Chains A and B, each alone.
Chain A
């Protein structure tokens, strides 16, 4: 049993991959809750694509070490540009995001397409290289995790206020535009931390699925964040294990990024019946004790606070 469940992680690269995923889980659980309540799925997806030109420019300018800086700059610039475009433009929000995504990504593709090995570059952007995460990258991710959680901790109250009552938040004197830009920057930081290690596919999944799963199990935001972290940790462990077992014992090529995403989606599917059961019970309770519920209407249904 131990040989099956623990020994694969004796290999140093597997242990580092697990540590990287654990750090990402700590970040993504809380951040994904905000992505979920603010319905920023498309923004998160767009940010994973728009860091690409930054990655390319960073690589051309400073080699492997430059990637991080390039991605950081591109992520911050697009986070701010997205919040400007979606507020003041003549375009509707989703069209603005789509155009930003495709245009930035194409700039990246044009820059790499002049190099000969560009299909390999694109592939490593999609998959990342979670199995070749180095100690230095782990430290980078750790620092970013502290920064992201710190930023979130100081602003969580305001962000929740803005998510559930934008009119009230504006009336209370808060600048909605700044709050939105702030949250976009936080999401961009997560993307930058994760994209080189685990690839765009996995980042999108890590930003969207944990909170969607947790929402099925609980109504409370804090519990959602905690469950999100737990689910991501579990999926990271199981995904790496499945990928290792399939490749080493059965000769099947199962890429670790896909395995982790599929484990996450499986968790979501498993949570669906629980959510349906809770919905049934809530409805029954609502018909018996009408008017005593402390639930407030918010995005994504009733959420207790």
Chain B
């Protein structure tokens, strides 16, 4: 029996990978204020995952298709008269979630599946899941590195970016698809609540220490991985749910960063300080 076969060790690898991936994309989510979109996506890919597992298809494929439909749906609905993105996202969240749990309820033994959807089952992660997360981590890192300049430009000065020849619509679409990729890879393993926590909290904690996007991203990835490890150790020491204790570890890091960043971090410039590259 190798080191990797131990349940806790595999979970540890999973937690570190998820922490790195979530921290990486989280900086974009926090800077562009897409937390609610992330939450809605994680709920709305759920019916795809359930339907795929009922039919017997690959669950990642099902989640990806559902996620794509949702992203297009939010974009289309928010163009309707008098509707804005928040309302459209809310309708999609409620509808997608209802379809998902409706589908789960038609199956036997559904309460276990539902709770693992919410809080994940990181202790039962398979090697295939780990490979999937590692692959997505590679893809996201590559795209974010290549697209760093246009993403930053569009995020902070849309009009200027358009005038400089970038296409803001396309850049936004790439970002949304990246977020969806991360959600599809991560939610089946760790659940929706932990996904949202690991995407938002480490990135917000990194933001408290620095104004430079590169530094913030590096810090967010480290914080994400550290919350994963600390949370898992606490969970096995005190016999509590793993996903929840990882979430609380990430929250604790954020709170400490907000307190520490006030003295050691960059001086705030107005309510939302500008970010340098």
Contacts and interface: CB of A to CB of B under 8 A. Distances in A.
Q: Give chain B's interface secondary structure class.
A: helix
A91 B254 CA distance: 10
B98 A205 contact: yes
B101 A216 contact: no
Interface string B125-141: 00000000000000000
A103 B248 contact: yes
A237 B50 CA distance: 27
B90 A204 contact: yes
A93 B35 CA distance: 10
Contact of B35 (A89, A97, A219): A97
Nearest to B252: A103
B68 interface: no
A137 interface: no
Contacts of A265: 91, 94-95, 98
A114 B268 contact: no
A204 B93 contact: yes
Contacts of A275: 80-83
B248 A127 contact: no
A204 B40 CA distance: 12
Contacts of A110: 240-241, 244-245, 248
Interface in B100-125: 101-102, 105-106, 110-112, 114-115, 118-119
B204 A91 contact: yes
A98 B240 contact: no
A189 interface: no
Interface residues of B, number: 61
Tier of interface size on chain A: 35 or more
B208 interface: yes
A208 B105 CA distance: 24
A45 B248 contact: no
B36 interface: yes
A91 B258 contact: yes
A264 interface: yes
A245 interface: no
Nearest to B111: A123
A122 B82 CA distance: 36
Contacts of B201: 98-99, 102
Interface of B: 30, 33-36, 38-39, 77, 80-84, 86-91, 93-95, 97-99, 101-102, 105-106, 110-112, 114-115, 118-119, 193-194, 196-197, 199-201, 203-204, 208, 239-241, 243-245, 247-248, 251, 254, 258, 261-262, 268, 272
7 contacts: A42-B86, A95-B203, A98-B200, A101-B193, A201-B98, A216-B82, A300-B84
